[in-house]
Chains A and B, each alone.
Chain A
C-alpha cells in the first residue's frame, strides 16, 4: 500500500548566538511540533545548534533561476555602490 504524503519542512539552525539561522536541509512531519522534534534528532546530534526554525516548504516563495538575469543583473553595472569606486588619497588613512 502506498504511503500517504506527509508535509515537507525546511529546517534552519542557529549554530551560535550572534549568527543567523542557516538552512540545513529538510524533513517530513505531520505537524510543526513533530517537525521540531525530528529536526532536533536529524540535524543537531552533535551540538550543531542553539535554535531551530521549521518552515513548511510550500510556504516559501522562491525566485525562478530563469529570471536570474532580470533579478540580479541590474546590480552588476552599479559599481559605484562599492567603496572601491571612490578615490581617496592614501594619506587620509583608513576610511
Chain B
C-alpha cells in the first residue's frame, strides 16, 4: 500500500528488559494507545518511523501524476477540484511527517532519505497519467485503494499515526468521489470518451491491486506488525475488500475489468486472476516507467526552494537579533 515495503519489521533486536517488553505488549493487547514519550521497543520505533515516513513520501510524490494535469483540466470546476485534491495530498504528507518525527527522527533526515533514494514510496506513483481519464481512474481507484488501507490505520496502536489517519480519511472520500464523477461523465459521453475511460481502467487496474503489497504467503513481515496492532488486516484481505467494493462500481460505469479470470464466488466475493509480481518487483527496484522522473522532480523542487528556506532562516535570525538588542 502507501506503506507497502515498509511493513517489514526490523529483525535486529537490541537487549531490552523482558519486563518492559511484556508491559508494552500488555498495553497493546488492552488496546491502549502508545504516545511519543512512552517506553517502546526499539524495533517498534524503527518499524513505525519507516512505515509513517514511507506513507508521507507517498503522499508527497503522489502529487506529481495528478499535478501534471492541473493546467490541462477540461473545465474550471474540474481544475478547482483537482487543485484542492493535490493540496490535500500535500497536507497528508505534512501530517504524516509530523507524526513520524514524534518518534525521534528529524523532518530534514526523513526528506533527505527520500531525495537520496534511500526511502521508498508507493509503487503506484511510478506510472504515468497519459490522458484526462487517468485523473478519473486515479481518484476512483488509487484513492479508493488508499482508503481501504487507511481506515484500519485510524485504530493503529501509535497515537500520532492514528490521529493523522483520522484527518486523512475525512479528506479522502472527496478524492474518490471526484475521480468517480470524472469516470461517470466520460462514460456518458462520446464513444471516444468512453474508450478513454476504459483505457485508463485497463492500465490502472493491476497496478492498483499491487498497491496492497505482496501476497500473504510471500510477505515475510506483518506478523510482528499485527501483534503490535499497527496492521489490522493482511495484504490479501485488504486487496479482496477493494476488489469486492470496486467491481460493482465498474459495472455501474459500463466498463470491463481487464481480468478474464474474474468470477464471483457463491459467497459473493470476486476471485481475480494472477497478479504480475515481477512488474511490482521491478518498480520497487526503481525500474518503473516514471521512477527516475519522480525522484528528479522532487530533487529539483527541493533545490529550487533552497533560497526560500535560507531567506526565511536569515530573516528570522535578523529579527531575533534585533529583538535581543532592543
Given A3-B111, A25-B164, A42-B94; A30-B315 close (CB under 8 Å): yes
Q: Contact flags (1/0) for B297-324 with A, using CB distance below 8 Å?
A: 0000010000001001101100100000
Given A42-B91, A42-B94, A42-B95; A28-B107 close (CB under 8 Å): yes
Residue A34 lies at the interface, judged by CB distance under 8 Å to chain B: yes
A36-91 contacts to B, CB under 8 A, are 41-42, 45-46, 62, 64-66
Q: Once the chains are docked, how many angstroms separate the CA of A7 from the CA of B106?
A: 11
B94-125 contacts to A, CB under 8 A, are 94-95, 98-99, 101, 106-109, 111-112
Is B37 in contact with A2, judged by CB distance below 8 angstroms? no
Is A27 in contact with B98, judged by CB distance below 8 angstroms? yes
The residue in chain A whose Cβ has the minimal distance to the Cβ of B116 is A2
Is A3 in contact with B108, judged by CB distance below 8 angstroms? yes
Is A34 in contact with B111, judged by CB distance below 8 angstroms? no
Which bracket fits the contact residues of B? 20 to 34
Is A4 in contact with B108, judged by CB distance below 8 angstroms? yes
When distances are taken between beta carbons in the complex, the residues of chain A under 8 Å from B17 are none
The residue in chain A whose Cβ has the minimal distance to the Cβ of B88 is A45
Measured between C-beta atoms, what is the minimum distance from A6 to chain B in Å? 7
The residue in chain B whose Cβ has the minimal distance to the Cβ of A62 is B37
The residue in chain B whose Cβ has the minimal distance to the Cβ of A7 is B316
Q: Contact flags (1/0) for A14-42 with B, using CB distance below 8 Å?
A: 00000000000111111100100000011
Is A6 in contact with B309, judged by CB distance below 8 angstroms? yes
Of the candidates B91, B94, B108, B313, the one whose C-beta lies within 8 Å of that of A2 is: B108
Q: Once the chains are docked, how many angstroms separate the CA of A29 from the CA of B302?
A: 16
B residues lining the A interface (CB < 8 Å): 35, 37-39, 84, 87-88, 91, 94-95, 98-99, 101, 106-109, 111-112, 163-164, 167, 171, 302, 309, 312-313, 315-316, 319
A residues lining the B interface (CB < 8 Å): 2-8, 25-31, 34, 41-42, 45-46, 62, 64-66
Q: Which 5 A-B pairs have the closest CB atoms?
A: A30-B312, A31-B316, A3-B108, A30-B316, A26-B98
